[in-house]
Structure 1
Amino acid sequence: MDAIMNACYRMLHALIAVCLCLMTTFVFSNVVMRYFFNSGITWAEEASRYLFVWLIFLGAIVAFRENAHLGVDTLVNKLSVKGRKILFVANNILILLTMLLVVHGTWNLTTLTMDQNSPSMRIPLAFVYVAGFISSVSIVIIALGNLYKLLTNKMASDELLMITDSEDRQKIESVVGEEKSKGGPNS
């Protein structure tokens, strides 16, 4: 199961890269066309906007799985393992409830806009709203997986912290560690 999930996340990373490359290409070529030829590609701006929407929603899935969203861990670091587990469950339940509301809303928007076409590309607007639906369903699945791992004791205690350490924090801790080992002012 983990191999399938990892393959899905590699595919998501690839789709994000494709969206970013296409978006950059469309915007750059449109700028060049307008600057040098006094014309532009009519659908490029709309395509870039839709690719950006997909990029954001696919990135949200990856960021949630990798715990890369912004977070404050001051309280969590001070809690015991039991307290972290309680907070982890509460956090995932809140995420589940919120994402279920988003699933409902984006599904309604997707079905409502099936017959409406975009102005220049003439594609159904549902194509844009389904990105939110896919993202929220995926986050629901990840949150349920997190809860399952916790309840079946397949989660290490260091995974209870739902944010990853940034490079800045790691640098600060290494500098503080070096100062302590050298007998610096804070040791």
Structure 2
Amino acid sequence: MSRIRNFIDNIESYVCRTLLATFVGLLFTQIVARQIFEHSISWIEELSVILFVWFAFFGASYAAKLNAHNRVTFHLKMLPGNGAKYVEAFADLFWIAFNLYFVYLSIEFIFKRMNKFWKAQTLGIEMKYFYLVLPIAFSLMAFRVAQVHYRQLVKGVKIKDPDAIDVAELKTQSPASISSAA
């Protein structure tokens, strides 16, 4: 059961890796086909763009899981005690509300406003299948934002920003290892 739970908890990471490898492989194939065989495969570019868009949306959800989205937080450091945590959680409630509203709008658009004649130019597949990334990714993002705050506020887990610089760790390293890490 823990393997399944681990897989589900890291689904965005696996999807992003797969999408990245696929669209880079497709673009490499297109470059080889054009440069060596002087032949272009028409559907590769369109599919690569679609996969890149899916990659970006799943990457945004993955960033939400890591609590690594860009945000202005300098003013939160001036709040006493746990005030910053609660103000950030309150602000993220608006983010969750926006995500859920966008899920509603995207489902409305995909299933009620798009018609079956809207197709990808070279692939010939209905566009609604490509637009499904919107409700999927925004649902995942809303879930991940809520999950981060549940882990922080209820379970007391400190989720570290992966881009944050640990000054104490830098002081213990030698100057050569710091310059090679950058």
- What is the TM-score of this pair, normalised by structure 1? 0.77
Separation (CA, whole Å) in 1 of partners of 2:169 and 2:149: 33
How far is 1:74 from its partner? Answer: 2.0
The one-letter amino acid of 2:140's match is: S
Cα 1:164–1:147 change in 2 (3 A) is: closer
Q: Residue in 2 aligned with 1:37?
A: 37
How is 1:1-150 mapped onto 2 (pairs within 5 angstroms)?
5-111=5-111, 112-113=113-114, 115=116, 116-148=118-150
Q: Say if 2:65 and 2:147, in contact at 8 Å, map to a contact too.
A: no
Q: Percent identity?
A: 21
Separation of aligned partners in 1, 2:114 and 2:5: 31
Paired AA for residue 48 in structure 2: S
**Structure 1 residue 148 displacement after superposition:** 4.7
| TM-score where L is the length of structure 2 | 0.78
Residue type of the alignment partner of 1:118: A
Find the aligned partners of 1:106 and 1:79 in 2 and give their Cα distance: 37
**When the two structures are aligned, how many residues end up with a matched partner?**
171
CA contact (8 A) 2:67 2:145 kept: no
Gaps of 5+ in 1: 179-187
Give the Å deviation of 1:40: 0.7
What 5-or-longer segments of structure 2 have no aligned partner?
Answer: 174-182
- Alpha-carbon separation, structure 2, partners of 1:114 and 1:13: 32
Give the aligned partner of residue 154 of structure 1. Answer: 155
Residue by residue, what CA displacement relative to the aligned partner does 1:115-135 show, whole Å, maximum 9, x if unpaired?
122111111111221111101
What is the identity, as a one-letter code, of the residue corresponding to 1:143? V
CA distance in structure 2 between the partners assigned to 1:7 and 1:109 by the alignment? 30
- 8 Å CA contact 1:9–1:62 kept in 2: the answer is no
Q: CA RMSD in A?
A: 2.7
* Structure-2 change in CA distance of 1:16 and 1:88 (3 Å): same
Contact 2:23–2:52, Cα closer than 8 Å, also in 1: yes
